[in-house]
Structure 1
Amino acid sequence: MSNQMITTENYNTQMTLFPETEEKKLSKRPLAPTFKPYDNRQIQVIFDIEALIPEHHVARVVDEMVESVPDELLFSHYKGGGRSSYHPKMMLKIILYAYSQKVYSCRGIEKLIKENIPAMWLAAMQQPDFRTINEFRGERMKSLMDELFEAMILKLIEENYITMENYFLDGTKMEANANKYSFMWKKSTSKLEAKLREKIQETLQYIQELTQLEARTAQKEANEDPEITEQNLEAIAQKLEEKVEILTEEIEQESDTKVRKEKRAERKKWKKPLKLIRENFLPRLATYKEQNEIFGDRNSYSKTDKDATFMRMKEDHMKNGQLKPWYNVQIGTENQFILFYTIHQRPTDTRCFIPHLEKLASTSLPMPKTVIADAGYGSEENYVYAIGDEKEPRFDFLIPYGSYVQEQTRKYKKDIKMRKTGPIVKRMIVLFARMEEK
């Protein structure tokens, strides 16, 4: 069978076998686009702004929560008289709602109640400026915050959301908004203060060597207060000033040039310790006294935030164990509700356990039946506190000690050396040591 040659004629013939498709004819009449009516200049009346807020919106939660607070609790922080104030419930609502939207500045809150519909509804279309918001948050809200928090917890107990039976305690550290290089160390301050007191003793010795009278006075002052207080130095400075005034009068009355020169040299000797006491010793003693009061039982604080303590964080992003100003926040929870919180200046959770529960006991909230915490709170002192007296037991607790998990391992149980140095033996050694000291 021979191959058929495809010629131009045959090709054209084959192409004509397919049906011809007619091109779609476009309509000659143009169609205009359609839109929904829009005119932002038209007057619109909103009869109920609440209808624009979804049913389960956070603004409704804030509104219901604040409305449940008794008016007497809020009104007690107003002394009355003068110009009418914005209602405290309205101010609380807009601040709490702004916090839920991550808006914390007063100007941001002012902008929110002008542009955000839920904020407008909570404010009832009122528009307090940022100064009013700042005054309420900085003064009134600061004083009523603890009472407001307790009222909300009691409301949750009443509504059976929480029972205060199981109290889960844990701590977290929050970095302070302070300069991390503005640290002050108690050890360094003590060394500088000790050196200053040595200089003061040298100056007092110098004064004693000037005349026998001033030597007895200075020695008497030093013996009365070996700590060298500001009052002590102030008394000595006053006597030196009297001596300098006497010499100045004698110089003015003296006509002999040689004698005047000798008296000026003598006055210079008295002016030297007087200048040291007035311009150096007294200001520095006052500074160290103020610093020691700020330290308290701490070892450090920040100059830009004196309440913050420098702590070493294990999760530091630089992985170099850098010391930074932090706060230790202790929080008790139940059923995902925060029941109570305290802020501490101590770096370890062990030392925050007793102060936290003591502050909880001082409030109107009921004490928990059982406290649950991790091994960071396990210490002999905390266990003894939780047990309380035989007549008045405080509460049950579920707090393991530091080596509890290690003691449950097979390796630990088989190792005789580890058992001999276990936590029970260590506690017995500590107790016997205390008994011997007494």
Structure 2
Amino acid sequence: MYQNYNNNQLCLSIPLEINISSNHVAVAISHFVDSIPDKLIYEKAMTSGRPAYNPAMLLKVILFAYTRQNFSGRKIEAMAQENIPTKWLIGDPDTVPSYRTINRFRSSDQMKRLVEAMFLSFRQLLKAQGLIDDSALFIDGTKLLADANKYTFVWRKASERFEGQLDKKIAGLYQELVQNKVDLAMSDEAPKTDSKTLEKTSEQLTNEIERLDQVIATEPIIPGGSPNKRLRRKFKHDRHLIDSDYLPRKRKYESNNAIFGDRNSFLRLIRMQLLCA
């Protein structure tokens, strides 16, 4: 047996009230908006024309729609027509603000001022209910580097391939420095690409930069720019490239080679790093 159902039957419906549960999010939103001082919500209204919608009601409807992932003015209007919690927030089942009214309100200067007020009121509300306190201080912009697993495999073939690519870049850099008449103090004909040689190269570039500083300080203004200044700029770039990129990577590969031994891979523990932006 089924209950009688006929949606074409004429019936007289007298809704006396619209109720929602006390723990519904709409109740929390209503309580939050009501906690905002009236002077921030109710600005001077127009004295002529049709009475405007209550800004507190519009604010409650918009905030509730956002909790339901509805950001379109037309969808918010549809909620005002069909959604019971939204009707409860409006307070009148026959009142339905149009999407133009909703969009005009949330893009107004009043809404911008309300956003700032809501931030302060929301914090005060959470503090009054004991949900937050002032015992902890958090830095805005803190980033936590995440990793899918705190362990990662280091493979010999991949390490050797990447180290070979790095050695080619280092050799190319050495060739440029030789062409720029930088004394690299290498005993062998073939350039060394180990970390110690990179450290010495960085020191030699620092000496060359200091020498150029002295030359530039005494030279007159040269039309078209000073060649020494261009060369100093190039040496500073090369030194930064070595110190910040080539040398750390080379040390990492040398450390990997010492760990590999006769093995083809090893497991490395990745520690989480906390970066403050």
Larger Rg: 1
* TM-score of the pair, normalised by structure 1: 0.30
Instruction: Report the structure, 1 or 2, having the larger strand content.
Output: 1
Higher relative contact order (CA 8 A, sep 6+): 2
TM-score, scaled to structure 2: 0.47
